[in-house]
């Protein structure tokens, strides 16, 4: 009996040692992509070839860039934008079609508040790339562009084809391409055997698993004030097996005639929105959807935006609005974490 008890005790000690021994280390990877930066934190087995993993990550990001970067003349999207034929099939990759399919869903859900064809309006208002704003555009110039704005002017055909209804229709997927990139890198990491990671590209995030201490990953939402430091955290959100994307109007704007004009444009009117919304953060099951919805809700405004989120499964949001006296007010959907 004494020997049996000793064996049982030894077995328990061994099991405890195995359970308490975590051979994983937290690894941080970072680099440049999509005109911004990426940051990844992951738990990897000690001895994993993280240099090889980084190469795979950057190769995948390069594929997505070559598909949807409007700053590359030979990218798929640039070639589509220059394609003059109406009614003719333009072949695209799976990546491009995946993002366009998600974009069509967001366009329809938001009643056109999010629109991939808004690029010409963004350029006209001086918010494209590093273009300097030259003031409020002429109303006639805005009206001249609107006939070529509207996602319905691009048809998605089976077999991975896009079709234009006008030679002047162009696409800019910048407001969801980063989210798609985040999703794809998260998938790559899971395929590589990583069980816990946080992936961020340009502020859009997806996390899965938990940190080494068992706690959820934490993602900070920037303080939505024009004079706030870039690293000022307004709220930290716990994130496990989901995405968080934030859109705001407090970084890019110009003033004219005593009035402030945001870079957030309503593709239906052609003008910047003025609905008191300064920031929208969306939680969703994937970052492509979260990224697009954050932009859409900025345009829709607090009432319609919240109504949309409450209709959707597994989607939550925090809408921050500007109040009199330079105060901020938080509007939470029913399931967004408040603490």
Residue in the structure block whose two tokens are 């934030």: 246
Residue range 206-216, pLDDT digits in tens: 999 999 999 99
The pLDDT, as a whole number, for residue 130 is 61
The residues, any chain, with a CB within 8 Å of residue 268's CB and separated by 6 or more, are 112, 113, 115
Is the pLDDT at 132 greater than 70? The verdict is: no
Give the mean pLDDT of the chain: 91
The pLDDT, as a whole number, for residue 18 is 39
DSSP 272: B
Q: What number of helices (H) and strands (E) belong to the chain?
A: 9, 15
Cβ(221)–Cβ(247) below 8 Å = no
The pLDDT, as a whole number, for residue 304 is 98
Q: What angle do CA 59, 61, 66 make, to 5 degrees?
A: 95
Q: What is the C-alpha R_g of the chain?
A: 23
Cβ(261)–Cβ(255) below 8 Å = yes
Least confident of 114-123, 199-208, 219-228: 219-228
Is the pLDDT at 326 greater than 60? The verdict is: yes
- Banded pLDDT at 14 (limits 50, 70, 90): very low
Beta strand 233-239 with 90-91 is unpaired
Least confident of 81-90, 223-232, 271-280, 297-306: 223-232
- Banded pLDDT at 131 (limits 50, 70, 90): low
Q: Rounded to an integer, what distance in angstroms lies between the CA atom of residue 209 and that of residue 284?
A: 16
Least confident of 23-27, 205-209, 274-278: 23-27
| Between 134 and 150, residue with greater pLDDT | 150
Residue range 294-318, pLDDT digits in tens: 999 999 999 999 999 999 999 999 9
Least confident of 166-170, 193-197, 207-211, 249-253: 249-253
| Between 183 and 48, residue with greater pLDDT | 183
273: left (phi over 0), alpha (psi -120 to 50) or beta: beta
CATH says 84-164 is which class? mainly alpha
Residue range 43-101, pLDDT digits in tens: 998 888 999 999 999 999 999 999 999 999 999 999 999 999 999 999 999 999 999 99
Query: How many CA within 13 A on the CB side of residue 285?
Result: 3
Cβ(29)–Cβ(40) below 8 Å = yes
Q: How many CB atoms lie within 10 A of CB 314?
A: 11
Residue range 139-151, pLDDT digits in tens: 999 999 999 999 9
Cβ(43)–Cβ(196) below 8 Å = yes
What tokens were used for 133? 């704003």
Q: Rounded to an integer, what distance in angstroms lies between the CA atom of residue 310 and that of residue 68?
A: 31
Is the pLDDT at 1 greater than 50? The verdict is: no
Residue range 143-179, pLDDT digits in tens: 999 999 999 999 999 999 999 999 999 999 999 999 9
Q: Rounded to an integer, what distance in angstroms lies between the CA atom of residue 29 and that of residue 53?
A: 10
The pLDDT, as a whole number, for residue 22 is 66
The pLDDT, as a whole number, for residue 24 is 82
| Between 11 and 198, residue with greater pLDDT | 198
23: left (phi over 0), alpha (psi -120 to 50) or beta: alpha
CA-closest candidate to residue 304, choices 102, 112, 101: 112
The pLDDT, as a whole number, for residue 17 is 37
Domain ranges of the chain: 84-164
């Amino acid at each position: 009996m004494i020997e049996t008890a000793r064996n049982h005790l030894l077995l328990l000690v061994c099991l405890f040692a195995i359970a308490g021994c975590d051979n994983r280390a937290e690894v941080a990877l970072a680099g440049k992509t999509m005109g911004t930066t990426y940051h990844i934190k992951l738990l990897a087995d000690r001895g994993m070839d993280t240099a090889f993993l980084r190469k795979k990550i950057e190769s995948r990001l390069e594929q997505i860039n070559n598909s949807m970067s409007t700053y590359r003349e030979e990218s798929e999207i640039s070639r589509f934008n220059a394609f003059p034929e109406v009614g003719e099939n333009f072949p695209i990759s799976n990546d491009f079609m995946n993002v366009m399919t998600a974009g069509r869903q967001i366009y329809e859900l938001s009643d056109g508040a999010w629109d991939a064809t808004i690029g010409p309006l963004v350029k006209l208002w001086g918010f494209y790339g590093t273009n300097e704003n030259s003031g409020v555009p002429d109303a006639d110039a805005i009206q001249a562009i609107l006939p070529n704005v509207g996602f319905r002017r691009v048809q998605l055909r089976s077999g991975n084809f896009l079709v234009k209804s006008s030679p002047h229709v162009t696409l800019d997927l910048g407001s969801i391409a980063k989210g798609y990139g985040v999703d794809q890198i998260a998938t790559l990491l899971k395929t590589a055997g990583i069980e816990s990671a946080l992936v961020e590209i340009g502020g859009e995030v997806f996390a899965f698993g938990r940190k080494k201490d068992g706690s959820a990953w934490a993602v900070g939402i920037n303080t939505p004030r024009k004079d706030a430091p870039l690293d000022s955290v307004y709220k930290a959100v716990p994130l496990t097996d989901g995405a968080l994307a934030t859109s705001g109007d407090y970084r890019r704007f110009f003033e004219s005639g005593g009035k402030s004009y945001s870079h957030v444009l309503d593709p239906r009117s052609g003008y910047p929105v003025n609905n008191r919304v300064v920031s929208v953060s969306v939680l969703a099951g994937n970052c492509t959807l979260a990224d697009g919805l954050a932009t859409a809700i900025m345009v829709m405004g607090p009432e319609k935006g919240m109504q949309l989120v409450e209709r959707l499964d597994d989607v939550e949001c925090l809408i921050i609005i500007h109040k009199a006296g330079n105060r901020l007010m938080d509007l939470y959907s029913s399931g967004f974490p408040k603490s």
